[in-house]
Structure 1
Amino acid sequence: MNARHRRISLSLALAFAATALLPGCGLLPGGDDDKSTVTVWLMRGSASDAFVERFTEGFEKEHDDIDLDIRVHEWTGIGPKVQKALKKADGPDVIEVGNTQVSQYVDRGGLEDLTLESARDLGMEDWLPGLGEPGRYRGAQYGVPWYAANRVVLYNKDLFAQAGIKQPPKTRQQWLDATARLDNGANQGIYLAGQDWYTLSGFIWDEGGDLAKEKNGAWKGSLHSPAALRGMEFYKQLQALGDGPQNADEEHPPQAGVFAKGDVAQIIAVPGSARAIEAKNPRLKGKIGYFPIPGKTAGKPGAVFTGGSDLVVREGTKERKAAVEVVKALAGAKWQKDLARTMDYVPNKTKLAPTVSGDAGVAAMAAGAARGRATPNSPRWALVEANNPIKAYMSKVLAGADAAAEAKAASGRITEALEDYGR
């Protein structure tokens, strides 16, 4: 192992073991005063060790005036860690954050405005909307898209064949019709838990609605809009074509385990769920197919919630120029393609989607990601999710309650969590 690889491995090992914040940028001890060290925080599971080594070696070879110190952190509890680090003069220079977390970090102060670089060097006009839009706050770009993941439909090929369905549905109506044929008493047409609010969000966006709207700096819940109610009505029709619980979400019980029993025709999940399904039921290996969540018309997949990460730069870093170079490299085509192939992610730009065309699950995910969205870009949105009124609303409507009345009540609770913020 050469010296560079020993240093990378040591850095990673220290990161995994660390329980306290570590110092950030600075000059290498005893090194050239013109050489910078950029400290990068990445999250566990976002990139493999092999990718980190490849990137570090490749980047340092192309930038002989910059050394990288890449440290890996756990997602659990990362919010307070990042908030604390952003206040430190020697904090990390580049940080991977969840795409929906950017606004809260900006609002409390601590991120560099990257609007100029995004427009001039990073091709922001082609970014996936579900990554680019939540990285923007009050007209400025702070988060640069890194990678995306979203839900698709996983289906049992054997059950589709038995029902005479030769092609995956392309429209919502085709989807309802096919699912009704699959829901035949012996099998469930679809397993859709009653509180899968991420999936509901996509249906609402397809109809032109939203979970909350901002006007003059004030956020208000909008589940009671006619468009949002149409999205809930479609969810109700689809959910009825299976035995998903009305009062639980997709993890209670884990839907992969339910699908693995072999009598469920479809679930809505990330493609990687197939690994868990096959581990529980090896007989399903090779029998799981994928298609994008259908939209209202055949030409457009349905809107989906986009999960993933953005890259941000700590405000006031002494290594701003070097940190931006790191972000540009990680977000650039070369390393985007490498990361997508390594981790089965969707690249940050629509034009890079062919990179993952060889994997059916990721290709379906990429098709949906082109119409991806994120949750309302309020710094207080986490308070909505902490005691999520959308879930309770869904369960009540599925149990027969008046949708308009329950939606208005849920919108009020969303407004209470978001009101008087950001004015």
Structure 2
Amino acid sequence: MLTRTSPRLYARSAASARRALAFAMAAVLLVGGCGALSDSGGDGTTTVDVWLMKGSLTDEFTKDFVNDYESRNPGVEASVTVHEWPGINKKVHKALRSGDGPDVIEVGNTQVAEYVEAGGVRNFTTEVVDLGGDDWIDGLAASGQVDGYQFGVPFYAANRVVIYRKDLFRQAGIESPPRTREQWLSATELLDGPPGQQGIYLPGQNWYVLAGFIWDEGGDLAVERSGRWAGEVDSPEALRGMDFYSRLQSYGEARPDADEADPDELQVFAKGEIAQLIAVPGSAKLITDTNPELAGKLGFFPVPGKKAGTPGAVFTGGSVLIMPEKSDAQEEGYEFIKQLASDDWQQRMARTMSFVPNKSTLTGALESEPGAAAMAKAAENGRATPASPHWGDLEARNPLKEYQTAVLRGADARKAARTASEKITRLLSGGP
């Protein structure tokens, strides 16, 4: 194994080193040919084709950004197409293969490894400093990495926080949100005491929340050894994370086989006397739309960590920006990404969309919004899912959910964890 040359960039194996050499040679060829590869129209303009995803940016924000980008890059036009998330994988794979696709693509932060394995994704490793990457939030940077190389540039993030009923906390005599996991357990037990009231609504199969507790204990969902991924939920650390999940989940009435969508946890929270829910801050608006009587009664705090002052680990969802190696506007597409990832536009996006920007130094833009501010604080300890190209297969068949339900129904945790780890290993190896 090679020694690290920076906190984020390292090679994991000799195979990775050989791949890095190939990338470096490709980069030289691309730089040398940028002028010849530009997609210039008859009037001398170059068009940068960009795919963004529905819900990421407002139309007005996109228009303002494109106008600014074009004013800074004379002779270049940006054409933005907004896509729906369902079915986008096939479109991206086709674009990377054919070379007839866009020059910049927004992708989900759990999809990067899948596209890199398929081939055709530009490597930004040598340009991380130029892109401001030294200050990227660790969890966001990691979501764009494969084998330590940076293929995706962090665009934005969103993560879960605790949404709580301020009125129920006051009635229980809890004057401020808990700051440690043990304080959280004690407060939740107290909130679960009044008849007809639940301390928390935590679906049995919320594996995103479980992942955070496992990471807090020093464990992981899966690890890569010598180029092969293996399930790791049967480690002592991961078992401690599941134990904490079980204790917290017991202070509510969510079914062991329920997930966030079935039944809809926001509807359940809105209609019941429930003190807490773990969800993205934007869920609060949907809750009060369902039950207007809760308007002004909801507060937010980061998922507590094991020590006061350190938020608990959370799964960081969101998007990254990639470029196809076959893009015919390499220089112009790179400038588009660089500008969208810049401090100015990241701050504007944070204020407009209430997303977490790509740098912790920029989260002050969210201070006026309590939910977004709590989310930004939590993002400081954000984590990405294992960077396996088969992670999508695992999520689709998800043995983690089966494992959670089994434990919450009384199964032996160690045996259930071993079974889950074996299934995870098989799925991440491309098996059935």
Correspondence 1:283 to 2:296: no
| Aligned position for 2:43 | 31
1:44-123 → structure 2 map (5 Å cutoff): 44-119=54-129, 121-123=130-132
User: Aligned-pair distance for 1:134?
Assistant: 2.2
Distance 2:133 2:163 in 1: 31
Correspondence 1:331 to 2:341: yes
Partner letter of residue 124 of structure 2? Answer: L
Distance 2:423 2:272 in 1: 39
Distance 1:367 1:313 in 2: 30
Equivalent residue of 2:422, what SS? helix
User: Aligned-pair distance for 1:357?
Assistant: 1.0
1:335-414 → structure 2 map (5 Å cutoff): 335-414=345-424
Partner letter of residue 75 of structure 1? Answer: W
Structure 2: runs of 5+ lacking an equivalent: 1-36
Deviations 1:294-343 (A, max 9, x none): 00000200000000000001112121111100000000111101111111
1:119-134 → structure 2 map (5 Å cutoff): 119=129, 121-134=130-143
| Aligned position for 2:151 | 142
Partner letter of residue 379 of structure 2? Answer: A
Contact 1:218 1:420 in 2 (8 A): no
Partner letter of residue 27 of structure 1? Answer: S
Structure 1: runs of 5+ lacking an equivalent: 1-23
Partner letter of residue 233 of structure 2? Answer: L
Correspondence 1:152 to 2:161: yes
Contact 1:25 1:38 in 2 (8 A): no
Distance 1:351 1:260 in 2: 34
Residues 420, 255 of structure 1: alpha-carbon distance in 2 compared, 3 angstrom cutoff: closer
| Aligned position for 2:20 | none
Contact 1:25 1:93 in 2 (8 A): no
1:5-44 → structure 2 map (5 Å cutoff): 26-28=39-41, 30-32=42-44, 35-44=45-54
Equivalent residue of 1:294, what SS? coil
Contact 1:102 1:135 in 2 (8 A): yes
User: Aligned-pair distance for 1:25?
Assistant: 7.1
| Aligned position for 1:174 | 183
| Aligned position for 1:243 | 253
Equivalent residue of 2:98, what SS? coil
Distance 2:397 2:272 in 1: 34
Deviations 1:197-250 (A, max 9, x none): 000000000000000010100110000000000000000000000101111111
Distance 2:411 2:137 in 1: 37
User: Aligned-pair distance for 1:117?
Assistant: 1.4
User: Aligned-pair distance for 1:273?
Assistant: 0.5
Provide TM-score, normalisation by structure 2.
0.89
Contact 2:156 2:355 in 1 (8 A): yes
Distance 2:141 2:197 in 1: 40
Contact 2:132 2:342 in 1 (8 A): no
User: Aligned-pair distance for 1:262?
Assistant: 4.2
Partner letter of residue 125 of structure 1? Answer: D
User: Aligned-pair distance for 1:125?
Assistant: 2.2
Report which stretch shifted further, 169-178 or 110-119: 110-119
Equivalent residue of 1:50, what SS? helix
Contact 1:25 1:92 in 2 (8 A): no
Equivalent residue of 1:223, what SS? coil
RMSD, matched Cα: 1.3
User: Aligned-pair distance for 1:88?
Assistant: 2.2
Provide TM-score, normalisation by structure 1.
0.91
1:249-328 → structure 2 map (5 Å cutoff): 249-328=259-338
Q: Percent identity?
A: 53
Contact 2:96 2:326 in 1 (8 A): no
Contact 1:42 1:73 in 2 (8 A): yes
Equivalent residue of 2:271, what SS? coil
Equivalences, count: 394
Deviations 1:91-137 (A, max 9, x none): 10000000111111111011111111112x11212212222112111
Partner letter of residue 40 of structure 1? Answer: V
Partner letter of residue 140 of structure 1? Answer: Y
Contact 2:204 2:408 in 1 (8 A): yes
Equivalent residue of 1:405, what SS? helix
Residues 116, 132 of structure 1: alpha-carbon distance in 2 compared, 3 angstrom cutoff: same
Equivalent residue of 2:238, what SS? helix
Contact 1:25 1:90 in 2 (8 A): no
Partner letter of residue 372 of structure 2? Answer: V
Contact 2:76 2:332 in 1 (8 A): yes
